[in-house]
A and B are shown apart, each in its own frame.
Chain A
């Protein structure tokens, strides 16, 4: 029996419905979300395109000849054996130099992180990561090639190591930071000296993640060409063990053969590229899949 006074604003039920401008907003919302989805899909199209064409063009060329024969001194034919062997020598040497330094530097920054020197080291690593690899190549050229008037594979390894060190350092540092402080404190409380604590306790806890970072850095070094251009130079001769002379590498092989005016050599470039891609992507997929599974479980 109440009186219904005139309303100034609509009842709630009306307000819950969409007005025209609300419908427009809803449409705009859905449109933009679709565009964002399309952008994400566009990003992965080149991945598929590169893999597809490298596979199509490279598969016919990836044969035993490519893998086992050295390039011919003149003309075409031969294979990428010198390049493969070169990569298999320079990369491990570079890793041998880069891994201890990178991890040690990471330990310094992570464990003594309050100090100003630690901050300076981290800053240096951040800057080094951003330096174009060709400039690293020039630097090593001036230090290790020019004085001896000799392109050499050792300089190539050093250049690759310089590329890897900051990357290994940063990924390792992040892993070490994730190790809980309580672990360190417990170890110290047991009377274990700090150096032992870090090496046996902290490092072991973070080992998986550090290994992941190292493998990814190695994969990256495997595919690098620019730093080797002025150091190891590349070579058509098979060089096993002589780091004081030039050495070829798989990416260098791809580069030189891609620019060669002979189709046969171009095809070899595709074959070598396929091999390179297989190696690099396999390492990446294996490492990421493993860390993904570890994170989930």
Chain B
């Protein structure tokens, strides 16, 4: 039973018969495993958090108190903490990351771009705990004594810059996250920028544009949605990052009011309290926190990929 072969990729027919069918089904099972795992994760997290959502309803998301003693659980301080740290991370990392991607893709000579790319990939390989350790003992105190102390002294009358400047808190967590998501933003932006057709650059060059103008007026407008996708993927990573954030964010239980307050994110709250939690409503509430995080990260992930595909094409079509 031979059928037409799709160009170069899909193999149909062939002489293997039963063995081929077995092969195809076997690999399909492996593929299904991924799909099943994904569905299972969503289902299990939902089921385990249903007790919490059942008890508190949507008030869980807006609830302000997390009190195991009184058995009242509210997610808002942790949602806010997650959003704020990730926001700081993206605000710092996006400009630096996109500029770096532009440099590596458009402006740098190969003898610079190759080692720099290599080093940025190594940055991505550093384990989260190592960042956390470095953050707790090096970056945190450093920021506390320099940036935070300066801000508290000169801008402390503005509420969000109010002290005290511990070095451990929202701001440091945001900065560490920024360092950790920059490689993501750089590599995906760079891929998107490289996929802009050369004819666009040539057209702009032939009109008498400087190299920077070629980038800003021809390349970036073309790559715009893909770069936004890259930034969103970085945001997604920041939202889910656990260990480094847990180690440098302190232990705030309320909604943080200032940049330098201690806080908790969803991930750090789960990391620190899960094992001591009593099975039942408390554990269910923690898992419910996780479920909120799951929904947000999956949604962002899908949106971001669609944006990247709009510019660079889906994988396999590149």
Query: Which residues of A are interface residues toward B (Cβ below 8 A)?
Result: 25-26, 28-29, 32-33, 35-37, 39-40, 42-44, 46-47, 49-50, 53-54, 57, 100-102, 104-105, 107-115, 117-118, 120-122, 124-128, 130-136, 138-139, 142-143, 146, 162, 165-166, 169, 173-174, 177, 180-182, 184-185, 188, 191-198, 216, 219-220, 222-226, 229-230, 233, 251, 254-255, 258-259, 266, 269-270, 273, 276-277, 280-281, 284-285, 288, 292
B1-44 vs A, Cβ < 8 Å mask (1 yes, 0 no): 00001111111011111011011101111111111011011001
Contacting A273 at CB < 8 Å: which of B97, B130, B237, B242? B130
B126–A277 contact, CB under 8 A? yes
Considering only CB atoms, which chain B residue lies closest to A165 in the complex? B34
* Nearest chain B CB to A264 CB, angstrom units: 14
Considering only CB atoms, which chain B residue lies closest to A166 in the complex? B34
Given contacts A143-B44, A277-B126, contact A195 B297 (CB under 8 A): no
Contacting B28 at CB < 8 Å: which of A117, A233, A284? A117
Contacting B211 at CB < 8 Å: which of A33, A105, A255? A33
Q: Give the chain B neighbours of A139 by CB distance below 8 A.
A: 40-41, 44-45
B297–A132 contact, CB under 8 A? yes
A174 to B293, CA, bound (A): 29
Contacting A47 at CB < 8 Å: which of B8, B122, B270, B279? B122
Number of interface residues of B (CB under 8 A): 100
Q: Give the chain B neighbours of A121 by CB distance below 8 A.
A: 31-32, 34-35
* Nearest chain B CB to A131 CB, angstrom units: 6
Q: Is the interface of B mostly helix, strand, loop or mixed?
A: helix
B155 at the interface (CB under 8 A from A): no
Q: List 29 A-B contacts (CB under 8 A).
A: A28-B212, A29-B210, A29-B213, A33-B103, A33-B212, A40-B100, A42-B100, A44-B120, A46-B179, A102-B30, A108-B27, A109-B31, A112-B10, A113-B9, A130-B233, A130-B236, A131-B294, A133-B242, A134-B242, A138-B48, A139-B41, A139-B44, A143-B44, A220-B125, A223-B126, A226-B243, A258-B132, A273-B133, A277-B127
- Residue among A118, A132, A182, A216 having the largest count of chain B Cβ atoms under 10 Å: A132
B129–A225 contact, CB under 8 A? yes
B147 at the interface (CB under 8 A from A): no
A102 to B29, CA, bound (A): 11
A230–B274 contact, CB under 8 A? yes
Given contacts A36-B99, A105-B33, contact A135 B129 (CB under 8 A): no
A224 to B267, CA, bound (A): 14
Beyond A135-B293, A193-B20, 14 additional contacts (C-beta under 8 Å) are A25-B210, A36-B100, A43-B97, A105-B34, A115-B10, A135-B290, A146-B279, A181-B9, A224-B128, A225-B128, A254-B129, A255-B247, A258-B137, A276-B129
Contacting A284 at CB < 8 Å: which of B122, B242, B287? B122
Q: Give the chain B neighbours of A277 by CB distance below 8 A.
A: 126-127, 130
8 tightest A-B CB contacts, nearest first: A181-B8, A193-B16, A132-B240, A223-B127, A104-B30, A195-B23, A108-B27, A39-B99
Q: Give the chain B neighbours of A180 by CB distance below 8 A.
A: 8
Contacting B305 at CB < 8 Å: which of A114, A126, A195, A270? A126
A177 to B239, CA, bound (A): 32
A32–B136 contact, CB under 8 A? no
B123 at the interface (CB under 8 A from A): yes
* Nearest chain A CB to B120 CB, angstrom units: 6
Q: Give the chain A neighbours of B11 by CB distance below 8 A.
A: 111-112, 184, 188, 194, 197-198
A285 to B308, CA, bound (A): 28
A203 to B138, CA, bound (A): 46
B130–A54 contact, CB under 8 A? yes
Contacting A131 at CB < 8 Å: which of B8, B24, B139, B297? B297
A219–B119 contact, CB under 8 A? no
A223–B315 contact, CB under 8 A? no
B206-244 vs A, Cβ < 8 Å mask (1 yes, 0 no): 000011110000000000000000000100110111110
Considering only CB atoms, which chain A residue lies closest to B29 in the complex? A104
Considering only CB atoms, which chain B residue lies closest to A254 in the complex? B129
* Nearest chain A CB to B179 CB, angstrom units: 5
A32–B121 contact, CB under 8 A? no
Q: Give the chain B neighbours of A44 by CB distance below 8 A.
A: 116, 119-120, 123
B88 at the interface (CB under 8 A from A): no
A132–B298 contact, CB under 8 A? no
* Nearest chain B CB to A206 CB, angstrom units: 14
Considering only CB atoms, which chain B residue lies closest to A46 in the complex? B179
B38–A124 contact, CB under 8 A? yes
Considering only CB atoms, which chain A residue lies closest to B185 in the complex? A43
B100–A43 contact, CB under 8 A? yes
A216 to B239, CA, bound (A): 23
Considering only CB atoms, which chain B residue lies closest to A181 in the complex? B8
A284–B27 contact, CB under 8 A? no
Given contacts A29-B213, A134-B267, contact A39 B103 (CB under 8 A): yes
B107 at the interface (CB under 8 A from A): yes
* Nearest chain B CB to A144 CB, angstrom units: 11
